Amino acid sequence: MDPGDGAGFDTIVRTEPWSMPYHFLIVDSSATVRALIKRSIRQSEIGGHGAKFFEAATGLEAMDAFAHHRVDLALIDPRLPDMDGVELIGRILAEPDTRGVPVVAMSARMDQRKTEALRRRGVKGFLRKPFTPEVFVGVVGQILEPTHV
């Protein structure tokens, strides 16, 4: 899996609808980027069935969202204004209530050292921004419903 190729997995063709609405936490310092990601998810097969979205612009906001909402998948840009994404992901995955939440790192730029650090922290997939709905489904589909793809 090369984080530079825009996806963590090959594109997947689904044969049945997604079984439940998912709750996504999108963590990115840019409101515009968060809106574009929400739109991309809504256009995908996963987001078209009642998905809920929570947003955070900082690591502290992300921690607060985890404390107050059910999150099925966190999409986190490792470059945040208040804390390093590796630190944030480490905190999330160290907490008993959130350690099972899959995390996907998304970034326009991600060097090999940071990619390996994120992998060691437990990141399940990588997305290179901008990504298409098809690429999103390919990465996230393997994480949320691997037996249904």
**Cβ proximity of 99 and 67 under 8 Å:** no
Q: How confident is the model at residue 46 (pLDDT cuts 50, 70, 90)?
A: confident
Domains and CATH numbers, the chain: 22-72+86-139 (3.40.50.2300)
CA 98 to chain centre: 14
Looking at residue 44, what is its pLDDT? Answer: 75
Residue type, 61: E
- Report helix angle 112-121 to 85-94, nearest 10: 10
Cα–Cα dist 141/55, whole Å: 21
Q: pLDDT digit string (tens) for 80-136? A: 999 988 889 999 999 999 999 999 999 888 788 888 889 888 999 999 888 887 888
